[in-house]
Amino acid sequence: MFYKNLTKISIAEDNFFKMVLIYLRIYSGLPVILMGETGIGKTALIELLSNIMSCKLKILNIHAGVTEVEII
């Protein structure tokens, strides 16, 4: 189902490189934290990568006002 929509997606070279680096960290068991300005595509990039890898994804929206995060 997802792969039918994959043909409509264009991935720039720098985003492909970022996806590969993120994948290598996940494969190595290392944590991944993405930081950046609002609206630059961090969530979209990770959602695409999780769909390609067939992995579950849990997104935590953390901002300057958050002092404690609990993962259940």
Domain count across the chain: 1
Chain segment 21-43, per-residue pLDDT in tens? 989 998 899 888 888 888 888 88
Q: Is residue 62 part of a domain?
A: no
Q: Is residue 65 part of a domain?
A: no
Q: Is residue 16 part of a domain?
A: yes
Q: Kindly state the percentage of the chain with pLDDT values over 70.
A: 75
Q: pTM of the prediction?
A: 0.65
Torsion of CA 18, 24, 29, 31, to 10 degrees: -10
Q: Which domain holds residue 6?
A: 2-53
Q: What's the rounded Cα separation, in Å, for the pair 28 and 12?
A: 24
Q: Is residue 46 part of a domain?
A: yes
pLDDT for the residue numbered 3 = 54
Q: What's the rounded Cα separation, in Å, for the pair 57 and 37?
A: 21
Q: Do the beta carbons of residue 34 and residue 46 sit within 8 Å? A: yes
